[in-house]
Amino acid sequence: MSISKKLTELLDEKNVDYEVLHHPVTYTAQETAASVHRPGREVVKSVILTDGADCAMAVVDAPHQVDLDKFSRLSGMKNPSLTGENKIRELFPDCEPGAMPPFGNLYDIQVYVDSHLEADDTITFNAGSHFEAIRMKFLDFKDICEPRFGDIVC
């Protein structure tokens, strides 16, 4: 699978400048950061959490993990847990599991972003595959995605 067409169509429609970064296959955000020669704090991962039928996306930088208690307080989910691979395939049919872009709004999923990311000028993320990433201005991401912000990392 390659870059998410839904994603590139959205970015092109919004006239956003972005760079597609081709890299060797990686399976963690830290590996992606090293592969594309970007600091780990600039490369983000999308973590899908569920609570019953409710789903949400947490976006955190490569070196950090989602703190489920903090996420629960911000999102209102009572018992958030990591979403299984089969459900992720269902929610993101055009993406490889673990390579979802942080634009949950494309999939009708509320996005919660760790507030520490607001300090960065750029954001780099998987673009639907484990071998392509996108780098763009953080403010453009924020304007298009309209996420909620809060302290959600350990």
CATH of the domain at 65: 3.90.960.10
For residue 152, being part of any structural domain is answered with: no
For residue 100, being part of any structural domain is answered with: yes
CA angle 48, 51, 57 (to 5 degrees): 25
Q: What is the pLDDT along the chain (154 residues), one digit of tens a residue?
A: 788 899 999 999 999 999 999 999 999 999 999 999 999 999 999 999 999 999 999 999 999 999 999 999 999 999 999 999 999 999 999 999 999 999 999 999 999 999 999 999 999 999 999 999 999 999 999 999 999 999 999 9
pTM above 0.75, yes or no: yes
Distances (CA, A) of 53 to 84, 112, 126, 129, 142: 13, 17, 25, 26, 26
For residue 55, being part of any structural domain is answered with: yes
**What's the number of domains the chain is made of?**
1
For residue 130, being part of any structural domain is answered with: yes
For residue 83, being part of any structural domain is answered with: yes
Task: Provide the domain limits for residue 99.
Answer: 5-147
Residue 27's nearest CA partner among 81, 102, 97, 104 is 97
For residue 154, being part of any structural domain is answered with: no
What's the pLDDT score for residue 2? 81
For residue 153, being part of any structural domain is answered with: no
For residue 11, being part of any structural domain is answered with: yes
Q: State the Cα–Cα distance between residues 19 and 12, nearest whole angstrom.
A: 12
Residue linked to tokens 């299984």:
84
Structure tokens at 15: 């006239």
Residue linked to tokens 């634009």:
103
